[in-house]
Structure 1
C-alpha cells in the first residue's frame, strides 16, 4: 500500500526547490525516473523505490482542490503529489518532508494538513529485508498475470493521473485494474465509471466484514492472482453485510447519462450538449476539465475539441 502527500504551491517547483525536497533523506538516497521522466522516484541506496513523485501540474480551478482535498486555495495552485511505500516506515516521513520543503520555499499548503515537516529523515530500516513489488508502474502495488492491484487510503479517491496511467497499462496488458480501499473511502464519479465494467473492480477491505465489491456489494476473495466473487456452496454470489440492509440516513443520487453523436466535420465543437446539461442542472457552465483529476483546466470547448482531434482516431476520456 502507499500513502499520498500533496504539496499545493503558489509557484511551480523549480529544479533547485525539487532537489532541496529530494534531499529530505540525505545524500545517500538515489534518484530514478519512470513513465518517460514524468515520475521521479526517491530510492534507497540499493535502488528500491521509497517515494514516487509526479511532475507538478497547474490546477487553475480552485474548486477542484476543494472537491478532492477539502482545502480552499486562494487561486490557482501547483499540485505536486508524492506516493510513499508503506513497506518502509521512513518512506511516508520522506514524502512529508519533501512536500514540506516545497511549501516552505514556495508558499502554500500540504495535504494532509498534519503532514507538514521539513526534517531530515535518516533511513534506518534494513532495506534488504523488505520485499520489492516488481511492477514497473509507480501506481501499482501488486502485479499478477491477471490483475494490477492498487491500494489507496484516501478519504476521496479520484481518477488521478497515476490511476489513469494504470488503467491504460491494464488495458494494454489484458489485465484487470483492482483498486483496494478501506470502507470509509469514497470514489469520484470518473473513477467509479472507469471501474464499473468487469474485469476492473473496486475492492473494499473491511477488517470486520471482509472483502467486498464497493459497487455491487458482492463478497470477494483473492484467488488465482485476482479478486473474484466468494461463492457459497450453491455457487451463488453473496452480498456483504453493508449491502443487505438499507443504511439509515442514506442520500439518494441522480445519475444522468447523455450520449451524443457528431459528424466529424471541420466546424465541429464538442461539449455543447454537456454544457447545456450543466447549465440546466446547476445554473452555470462547467468550471474545469482535464484528462484526469484534478480537472484543472478552465472550461473551454475549443481546447477540449483540439485535444480530441489530436488524439483521433484513438478515444479520449475527459473529466469535467
Structure 2
C-alpha cells in the first residue's frame, strides 16, 4: 500500500520547481528515474523506494477534479496540472511526499489533496 498525495497546480512545474521540491525533502536520499524517466523515486541508502513522483498530467476536462477527488475539490479550476506523489507506508515517508507537494504548490500555485490518515498511513498534513 501507499499513501498518495496529489498536487493540483496552476501551471506546469518547471525543472527548477521539481529540483527545489526534491531539495525540500532533504539531501540524504538517493534519486533515480524509473519507467523510462516518467517516475522519479526518492530512495533510502539500501535503494528502497520511499516516494515515487509521477510526471505531471495536464487535466483539461471540466469537473474532473470533482469526479476524482470529491466535492471539496469542485472549485479546482481546469486546466490544472496533476502531480501524483506516492509514499511508502514506512515511518516518515508521507512527510517526504508532503514536503515535495508543498514546495511544488508554493512555487507553481494550487493546492494539495490527500486522503484522511488511517491505520495504514501516517498523518502527512492538512489540505493546503
Q: Normalising by the residue count of structure 2, what TM-score does the alignment of the two structures yield? A: 0.84
Corresponding position of 2:80: 77
Write the mapping of 1:43-192 to structure 2, written as runs, cut at 5 A. Answer: 43-70=43-70, 71-72=73-74, 73-86=76-89, 88-112=90-114, 114-116=126-128
In structure 2, distance between residues paired with 1:115 and 1:3 = 14
Runs of 4+ in 1 over 2 A off after TM superposition: none
What's the Cα RMSD here? 1.4
Match status 1:34 vs 2:37 = no
**Does the CA contact (< 8 Å) of 2:29 and 2:45 recur in 1?**
yes
**Does the CA contact (< 8 Å) of 2:111 and 2:127 recur in 1?**
no
Report which of the two structures shows the higher radius of gyration computed on alpha carbons. 1
In structure 1, distance between residues paired with 2:80 and 2:66 = 12
Corresponding position of 1:18: 18
Distance 1:23 1:45, change over 3 A: farther
**Does the CA contact (< 8 Å) of 1:5 and 1:115 recur in 2?**
no
In structure 1, distance between residues paired with 2:127 and 2:54 = 18
Q: Deviations over 1:211-258 (max 9, x none)?
A: xxxxxxxxxxxxxxxxxxxxxxxxxxxxxxxxxxxxxxxxxxxxxxxx
**Does the CA contact (< 8 Å) of 1:96 and 1:115 recur in 2?**
no
Q: Normalising by the residue count of structure 1, what TM-score does the alignment of the two structures yield? A: 0.35
Q: Deviations over 1:15-48 (max 9, x none)?
A: 1111111123311211111111111101113321
In structure 2, distance between residues paired with 1:97 and 1:7 = 11
Structure 2, gaps ≥5 residues long: 115-124
Structure 1, gaps ≥5 residues long: 117-320
Distance 1:115 1:2, change over 3 A: farther
In structure 2, distance between residues paired with 1:35 and 1:42 = 14
Q: Higher relative contact order at CA 8 Å, sep ≥6: structure 1 or structure 2?
A: 2
In structure 2, distance between residues paired with 1:18 and 1:31 = 12
In structure 2, distance between residues paired with 1:47 and 1:38 = 18
In structure 2, distance between residues paired with 1:81 and 1:32 = 17
